[in-house]
Amino acid sequence: MKPFTDILQNKEFTREELVKLLSAGDEERRQLFVQAQLVKSETVGNKVYLRGLIEFSNKCGKDCLYCGIRKNNNKVVRYELTDQEILEACRFAWLNRFGSVVLQSGEISSPTFVKRIDLLLQKIKELSNGELGITLSCGEQSAETYQQWRQSGTHRYLLRIESSNPELYRKIHPDNDFHSYERRIQAIRDLKECGYQVGTGVMIGLPFQTVYDLADDLLFFKAIEVDMVGMGPYIEHEDTPLYEFREMIKTKQERFDLALKMVATLRLLMPDINIAAATALQAIDPAGREKALTIGANIIMPNLTPCEYRKEYQLYEDKPCLDEDAEMCRNCLEARIELAGCEIGYSEWGDSKHFKRRQ
Ligand code: SAM
Ligand code: SF4
């Protein structure tokens, strides 16, 4: 195999080469990060785009084995923001020149839910004179629903594959058609066909996951020509079935380090996509998201969910910013982004360059 420094100059990567990058020791890791930062500044530039995250409901029909808000976790108090609360959060984002919002929730597919989102999309466009970009992250829906929401004003959708290895996917989800790998893949295909900029991603450091799985995840992103990726460390939650396997997972610091290497390696593999600095990084290291920005990521999602609801959207333990309101979050984030040597793309959608090229 080529020496490490030669692999860093590649345009295409084999599975073994990706594994080598992901297994980099201290000095090689430093070289990987320097190269990823260089590729980032030459392709997507130094700007970071803001997506105000509104976790508008924790009601979910699914039971993913890793997730703190899964249907069968009876300790969670279920909530749904009112239309007014959602619109106020969007207005905050617009007035503070965030450029875009992400509306995220558990997975509900009832006609009432679908219709409600549809009307909300139209109202958000109205209140911002069409200026706020809208990303949705509401799980698997029918192709018709995706189509309808696309027409009502959303143009980006996030749906993580969680793991591209079908066997591992089955281990971290209940064994039924509702949670099937095939259904997930079909949903990602449907989103692409409806003309969305599609974001996907995985959790890093899952029980049973190997570095080969992670290399395959990167190749999966490339094969499906994804436009955006959001991936972060898996973090255990004691009220979930996967907690049983906590002894077999890497330490939090190891998961964090691996997540940064995944971001940097992906930047080399897919230079012009958008890569988010995942919130889960911050749950392990307070400066985790900023560290990701300096080695390849270019998107950040400040939390705009009203504080009183945040403790009920605990996907994993130690989720950050539980009691900081949107204004405080904004102030501290701006300073941190500047410290990371990046510039904020105020009022810009910051669409994926890869998507534009694909068009
Ligand atoms: N329900 C939608 C879905 O599943 O696509 C959107 C919301 S879901 C909470 C968003 C993401 O949270 C999931 O795609 C998953 O990767 C992440 N997540 C859930 N539990 C997690 C955990 N224990 N550690 C890290 N990330 C987690
Ligand atoms: Fe529901 Fe999404 Fe959590 Fe799965 S990951 S249980 S679909 S909120």
* Cα–Cα distance for residue pair 275/90, rounded to 1 Å: 22
* Cα–Cα distance for residue pair 69/50, rounded to 1 Å: 25
β-bridge partners, 344: 48
- Residue 216 inside a domain? The answer is yes
For residue 281, give the ligand nearest its CA.
1
Q: What is the pTM of this model?
A: 0.97
- Residue 10 inside a domain? The answer is no
pLDDT on residue 328: 62
β-bridge partners, 228: 199, 274
- Residue 3 inside a domain? The answer is no
* Cα–Cα distance for residue pair 181/301, rounded to 1 Å: 27
CATH code (residue 297): 3.20.20.70
Q: Which domain holds residue 58?
A: 15-358
* Cα–Cα distance for residue pair 228/297, rounded to 1 Å: 10
- Residue 6 inside a domain? The answer is no
φ, ψ at 231 (rounded to 5°):
-140, 145
Q: 3 C-alpha to center of ligand 1: Å?
A: 37
Pocket residue to mutate for ligand 2, from 107, 160, 312, most atoms within 8 A of Cβ: 107
Nearest to 157 by CA among 214, 125, 213, 117: 117
Looking at the 3D structure of the chain, how many domains does it have?
1
Helices and strands (DSSP H and E) totals, the chain: 15, 10
* 140 touches ligand 1 (CB under 6 Å): no
- Residue 120 inside a domain? The answer is yes
* Cα–Cα distance for residue pair 91/110, rounded to 1 Å: 27
Pocket residue to mutate for ligand 2, from 64, 73, 159, most atoms within 8 A of Cβ: 64
Give me the tens of pLDDT residue by residue for the chain, a chain 359 residues long: 899 999 999 999 999 999 999 999 999 999 999 999 999 999 999 999 999 999 999 999 999 999 999 999 999 999 999 999 999 999 999 999 999 999 999 999 999 999 999 999 999 999 999 999 999 999 999 999 999 999 999 999 999 999 999 999 999 999 999 999 999 999 999 999 999 999 999 999 999 999 999 999 999 999 999 999 999 999 999 999 999 999 999 999 999 999 999 999 999 999 999 999 999 999 999 899 999 999 999 999 999 999 999 989 989 888 777 766 666 667 777 888 888 889 999 999 999 999 988 88
